[in-house]
A and B are shown apart, each in its own frame.
Chain A
Amino acid sequence: MNFKKILPQLLTLVVVILVFGFFSYNAQVNMENRGITFGYGFLSQESSFDVQFSLIKYDGSHSYFRAYLVGLLNTILVSVIGILFATIIGVVVGIARLSSNYLIERTAAIYVEFFRNIPLLLQIFFWYFAALRALPLPEKAEPIFGVFFLTIKGFFVPAFVWNNLDIFIYSVISAIIAIVFVRLYAKKKQENQGIQTPVLSISIGLLIILPLLSFFLGGVDASVEIPVIEQLSKTSFTFKGGLKLPPELISLALALSLYTATFIAECVRAGVQGVSKGQKEAAASIGLTPNQVLKLVVMPQALRIIIPPTTNQYLNLTKNSSLAAAIAYPDLVLVFAGTALMQTGRAIEIVSITMLTYLTLSITISIFMNWYNKKIAIKEK
């Protein structure tokens, strides 16, 4: 073995071990001094704090682990909403950036330049403390389409009241599985016989028919509950019934999606511009219709460029959702690394769990992306 190769490695290893050793020794000493023992047993203790907004049933009598789950679900909720809207806005703006219409292109460019050059935290504050505070009080709110109420206390929307919700969910899942099989079948058929199957219309049909069947045969039943104004005291009003989206959630989702959309728009633009003109002309010259050119030639190649950076943006959005702590939206960081940490004082355990959660999330996605990139990479000879 080469001495020149071993020495630097050994040195690095020693330094890393020394640093870790130093830290863990101090941690041990410090914890002994404060009389804390390291361990994750506290997770099953009663949490005795309340959370403003929760997707699952939760109150102070539940455990810290349950609080962790509440935070995690809230993080996932706001990320999913943000990703959905960011994608829609991003794709529209990205295509608008490619428009031949000068006004549209400029408007989209101004939007992108403006929203991505302002810190996300500032945008969240802007929506939460300035823009949404200008909304009316519940008693003065004008209904939108008669059923939606946008007030300073949140956005009140009609809620569905379900009977046998689980059967409905199963039907949707089975529809999705069926669609996957139809796609596989269609691909095989095209490879073997060169016949195209209308996958899209079949998929949409499946997605509508199977859940519909569950209504008629599975005993699923849904009714709509409309929010109604209710007087709490002389001056305080609120809405009863329906679903309440708290202003924290709205402003966070709004800021996240408007901010991330600018980056997605740039990805989309780069992707479509990345497909060379020759490809389109070649496709047109072998007689494909413009629709087919878009579907079979341009989109597959553009998506190959678009998807990796866009997934990165989704990941960024999920991580950025931790800024929720600044406006008291009860996400993972606020509930767990904030309130639970203050109560238990277990800094090392709680911060490590929080970090590990985010780390697992992003490493899973990046492993999946590496696999996907390898799969779609152009195989060159």
Chain B
Amino acid sequence: MNKLNILSPNKNNLYAYLYSGISLFFISILIVFLNSFFSLDLTSFLPGTISYFLPLIIGFIGLHLIRIEYSRIKFLDIINKNINTNKFNALLSLLIIFAFIKSLPPLLSWFIIDANFAGDSKDACSGSGACWAYIKTWFNRFMYGMYPNAEQWRINLSFIALAFLGGVGFFATEKFKKYLTLYYVVVYPVIAFLFIFFFISGGPIFFDFSYGIIAAVISIIIGFFIPSKFKMYYFLIIPITFYILLKYVFFYEELIELGKIQAFEWVETGAWGGLSLTFIVSFFCLIFCFPVGLFLSLGRRSDLPIIKYISIGFIEFWRGVPLITVLFMSSVMFPMFLPEDMFIDKLVRVIIAISLFEAAYVAEVIRGGLQALPRGQYDAAKSLGMGYWKMHIFVILPQALKLVIPGIANTFLALVKDTPLIFVVGLLEIVGMLNLAKTNPEWLGFAMEGYVFASIVFFIICYAMSKYSYNLEQKYKTER
């Protein structure tokens, strides 16, 4: 048997080092574990400071003893490579393990063991842990805001229907794949708007927008018979003409009568709230900010000076101010800019404000993608005789947008995380509802539970979004 040199472990006495090191390491973990879970202090006979640092010292020696390179024992090599490369790393690893063990019992007891799940009043919560009964009681409010309880099925139904319609892309056959872009960019948002207007809001069945849709459908049907040469001019002029004709000539009198017919009880937007409002605001802002941002980015790279400078000014303005001042503007300053008899709902104002704000960020992200494309792509497209729009739609944008998927996903994430700011105009989504519930005299003192709950909800949403964008990025990745 070789002589044991404790200061520099080597392969000669591998097992001696291994057994002593591992047992020391486990003893140190055991001490901390017993201390934190059962508040047993095994080392209480020692003076305070030494007793406090003893597990660290023992564990450190243990890790030092098993730090043997190329031992050919698989798990030992993995440990050494990952958490035990040198003294400093070993110390940090131990600290992290101990901190984890130490923080587990209080967290567990707060979240589960001492927590109250049952009950529907404050008295049910007597333990030192979390009061999940609070979340349970207020759950409806956190999800739907002040929306009447009896009508909440409307929100559920709309969301389920919209989720189903949104998932159409996954089931589309090859034949319909080419219409998917049109579907998602034009048809789906319109359907979503109609659902929210008729169903969630309970708006009148016939209103201005209905004429718009009728006009659009009729003009699209006629549009199939128009020679392609005039199609652009046709679609610029005819739908608007139809709309004006329908509204002011054919149905002018009926509008007032028909406008009173509602399928459902009217729920004003001030009563909307909770997580469903978060979804509604983020959904519409996502839909609006993308095309606006796309056009802004094209405008910023345009050769036409007036368009270019207007785009630059617009983008830099929105990027330079905080969202909260934009919302302030939309709530206190914007009404001053409108004629006195004109009133725009505050939810609509908020959606427009957030969309314009985020559009500026989307524009900058897309511009990054446009700049990253080699000049040859533009030249090649031009040499094939493509015009500006054809070149961008078929050659430039598909490549550029693919490049900027992560950036756009980040902007969208920022948008979702910005929605709580709508409290500025008095709309209460989930965080706003939490603050309202917190001040309820029957439920004082449960702020922590509420914020933890909302944090988990937002974490799940945002984490899922970022993972999805990562998948998307991998899916469309092409070798360049």
CB atoms of B83 and A103 under 8 A apart: yes
CB atoms of A363 and B92 under 8 A apart: no
A101 within 8 A of B: yes
CA separation between A202 and B433, bound complex, in Å? 56
CB atoms of A29 and B324 under 8 A apart: no
B472 within 8 A of A: no
> Given A8-B307, A26-B337, does the pair A358, B322 have CB atoms closer than 8 Å?
yes
CB atoms of B322 and A322 under 8 A apart: yes
CA separation between A320 and B324, bound complex, in Å? 8
Chain B contacts of A31 at CB under 8 A?
Answer: 336
Contact with B along A312-327 (1 / 0, CB 8 A): 0000000110110110
B93 within 8 A of A: yes
Chain A contacts of B463 at CB under 8 A?
Answer: 113, 117
CB atoms of B421 and A323 under 8 A apart: yes
**Which of B305, B338, B424 is within 8 Å of A9, CB to CB?**
B305
> Given A27-B337, A101-B93, A351-B329, does the pair A119, B417 have CB atoms closer than 8 Å?
yes
A341 within 8 A of B: yes
CB atoms of B420 and A119 under 8 A apart: yes
How far does the Cβ of A7 sit from chain B's closest Cβ, in whole Å? 10
Within 8 A of B (CB), among A350-381: 351-352, 354-355, 358-359, 361-363, 366
A104 within 8 A of B: yes
B253 within 8 A of A: no
CB atoms of A26 and B338 under 8 A apart: yes
**Which B-chain residue is minimally distant from A126 (CB atoms)?**
B451
Chain A contacts of B447 at CB under 8 A?
Answer: 125, 129-130, 133
How many interface residues does chain B have, given as a range? 35 or more
A170 within 8 A of B: no
CA separation between A330 and B320, bound complex, in Å? 21
B222 within 8 A of A: no
CA separation between A322 and B328, bound complex, in Å? 11
CA separation between A126 and B454, bound complex, in Å? 10
Contact with A along B380-403 (1 / 0, CB 8 A): 000000000000000000000000
For the A-B complex, the count of residue pairs with Cβ-Cβ distances under 8 Å equals 153
A30 within 8 A of B: yes
How far does the Cβ of A109 sit from chain B's closest Cβ, in whole Å? 12
CB atoms of A26 and B333 under 8 A apart: no
A181 within 8 A of B: no
CB atoms of B310 and A119 under 8 A apart: no
B436 within 8 A of A: no
CB atoms of A359 and B305 under 8 A apart: no
CA separation between A101 and B338, bound complex, in Å? 60
CB atoms of A122 and B421 under 8 A apart: no
How far does the Cβ of A24 sit from chain B's closest Cβ, in whole Å? 8
**Which of A22, A107, A326, A348 is within 8 Å of B423, CB to CB?**
A326
Contact with A along B319-345 (1 / 0, CB 8 A): 111111100110011001111100000
A157 within 8 A of B: no
CB atoms of A12 and B417 under 8 A apart: no
**Which A-chain residue is minimally distant from B305 (CB atoms)?**
A9
Interface size on A, residues (CB 8 A): 58
CB atoms of B336 and A101 under 8 A apart: no
CA separation between A280 and B96, bound complex, in Å? 30
B317 within 8 A of A: yes
**Which B-chain residue is minimally distant from A15 (CB atoms)?**
B310
CB atoms of A120 and B417 under 8 A apart: yes
B82 within 8 A of A: yes
CB atoms of B333 and A119 under 8 A apart: no
**Which of B81, B319, B324, B448 is within 8 Å of A325, CB to CB?**
B324
CB atoms of B431 and A358 under 8 A apart: no
B462 within 8 A of A: yes
**Which of A27, A337, A359 is within 8 Å of B320, CB to CB?**
A359
CA separation between A107 and B420, bound complex, in Å? 28
A16 within 8 A of B: yes
**Which of A27, A114, A322, A361 is within 8 Å of B336, CB to CB?**
A27
- Which of A107, A320, A347 has the largest number of chain B CB atoms within 10 A? A347
CB atoms of B310 and A358 under 8 A apart: no
CB atoms of A355 and B325 under 8 A apart: yes
Chain B contacts of A26 at CB under 8 A?
Answer: 336-339
> Given A8-B304, A101-B82, A337-B328, does the pair A347, B336 have CB atoms closer than 8 Å?
yes
A23 within 8 A of B: yes
**Which B-chain residue is minimally distant from A125 (CB atoms)?**
B451
A42 within 8 A of B: no
CA separation between A348 and B336, bound complex, in Å? 8
How far does the Cβ of B150 sit from chain A's closest Cβ, in whole Å? 30
CB atoms of B325 and A104 under 8 A apart: no
Question: Which 8 pairs show the lowest CB-CB distances between chains A and B?
Answer: A117-B462, A102-B82, A319-B322, A359-B320, A23-B337, A119-B417, A322-B322, A9-B306
Q: What are 24 A-B contacts with C-beta separation under 8 Å?
A: A8-B304, A9-B306, A12-B306, A26-B336, A26-B339, A30-B336, A101-B89, A103-B92, A117-B417, A119-B458, A121-B423, A122-B420, A126-B448, A126-B451, A129-B438, A319-B323, A320-B322, A322-B325, A351-B328, A352-B333, A359-B317, A361-B320, A363-B316, A363-B320
Partner-B contacts on A (CB < 8 A):
5, 8-9, 12-13, 16, 22-24, 26-27, 29-31, 33, 99-104, 107, 113-114, 117-122, 125-126, 129-131, 133-134, 319-320, 322-323, 325-326, 333, 337, 341, 347-348, 351-352, 354-355, 358-359, 361-363, 366
